[in-house]
A and B are shown apart, each in its own frame.
Chain A
């Protein structure tokens, strides 16, 4: 598509930002300079991560290594072992805490994606009375921090008592409370994505006699996989690392979550057991990182597709 330019002089001193049909080779000096910059950036990104890995395998339980050594002398996985058996003074094992967090995360994930995608489709594709108002309502709630609903939800859920089961003092109650915050974001994000799906396919389906529901199920949903993945990921992360509501709502140590245990370790009183804390932090962060790695392609495309036109 580009026409032959001829003998137009081009400066090679600045970085090659234009590409004429193929990859233009970057001059070596420029390449090395940029490589050094990128490596420095990578170092700043990785430094805290390496720091905490180093602390977790250090058996001396100190707050910093003596030198900038990655593997401290006498490195052992004792901290990990201790943390898996019983991370906090409460008689709760890591697996129990993880199961609780997983329960919350799963509910939030399913609820925000399942319920949200229906609403997102309606906002994106349908014209109806009150559309603008309801959209602003959703956006307004999106802006509210979770803390704003903390007090009333605490009070409201406390009143729901069935026998010995109090809704507030349960994992289910926590999951409900967190979903109140994740749902608006899910709707807003998914709507933005569905906006970019071309309408031709739906029009074709309509011509073939499909109802709105069928169009939604067979055309839109399969095409929305990236944004469903993103929303599921954010919902999962929100539940896995949930702190505010579980700290406030839960009374029984058997129900406690990972984030609560983590926070309990860094109490103001006494010395923080840094090795155990680091080991625990790594164990908590690992599932999130693993899920992220799998969904990375979708997450990136789900985040960028909304703003990119054409």
Chain B
């Protein structure tokens, strides 16, 4: 890529010509940002105002009285666990939410990569058949996934207990562990509480999550030049060493952004928590999103819900900035 050297300097361009790239860009951006301004940005601003009021059901209709200003009362009430949701503990919900997202993503990525490696073995029969089957969970709407798994974890009629009874040779109907409602947590260390329901939710989400990770990993694996493996083999590298030096550098740029995206999605995964465990035994599997939904749907406390959403926004902002540092997503400008 060489440019011929100019014998003379180009004439100075007017301000109008110089800003043309910016104007064209903004023209392209206009529709999207117009739409987003109305339905995304404005509601967020409106929400900030709402969080300082006691907006409730009475203020909803267009000719209704305006809500009263309550200052930071809503925020304080959330931090002091003083809102109308039963069993609400802000720190516990936050810790659980973070752990839920983190543990899920780690398991999804590991399993996805493992299966991708297995399926990438040359000479393996029926590869396309397996790939088509493994992707099925992705095509099932999440609300259906949640209710199917809820049914499967049912204590008396569920498939899971049924299978366990068969495997351990118990009489049919002999194993009736109530996965989703067992009140005593498995792990309880201060704010870190993991009930049995967490493991049920984890199973369902892993079932749902590893196929996509496997697809992304397969794409990355197939881009690895074969010569590198041969070279490593010639240097006497074993399977594990080959994985570390050849495969991993290719996997990382593909899996890392996807893992980050998966973290955010799992962090906000409403369906499983709301429909499978209903927030778990005594609110132990509640996430920030499900609590927010309950505030709006069940309590109609729009002011408090708005304050809660502001908290969520800042928490997610921190997570975004931290993970952005890792992936440097916005700086991609090479062609």
Contact = CB atoms under 8 A, between A and B. Distances in A.
Contact of A153 (B39, B154, B162, B207): B39
Interface string A7-31: 0101000111111100111100001
B29 interface: yes
Interface in B103-146: 115, 118-119, 121-126, 130, 132-145
A26 to B, nearest CB: 4
Main secondary structure of the interface of B (DSSP, over half): helix
Interface string A217-247: 0000000000000000000010011011001
Contacts of B130: 38, 41-42
B181 to A, nearest CB: 12
Interface in B247-302: 253-255, 257-258, 264, 268, 270-271, 275, 288-289, 292-293, 295-297, 302
A164 interface: no
Given A152-B46, A281-B148, A240 B32 contact: no
A304 B215 contact: yes
Interface residues of A, number: 121
Interface string B162-196: 10001000000000000000000000000000000
Main secondary structure of the interface of A (DSSP, over half): helix
Interface string B298-335: 00001001100100110011011000100001111111
Interface in A121-161: 121-123, 126-129, 131-132, 134-136, 138-156, 158-159, 161
Contacts of A138: 36
A180 B39 contact: yes
A142 B288 CA distance: 16
B134 A155 contact: no
Contacts of B166: 68
27 contacts: A17-B122, A26-B124, A35-B125, A35-B126, A37-B118, A41-B115, A45-B211, A48-B148, A68-B166, A115-B35, A121-B28, A126-B21, A128-B22, A128-B25, A143-B264, A143-B316, A147-B268, A147-B296, A152-B43, A152-B44, A155-B60, A156-B43, A183-B40, A262-B143, A263-B143, A288-B139, A303-B212
Given A18-B233, A34-B124, A145-B270, 12 more contacts: A18-B230, A38-B118, A48-B149, A48-B159, A64-B162, A139-B320, A143-B317, A148-B292, A151-B55, A151-B302, A184-B36, A262-B144
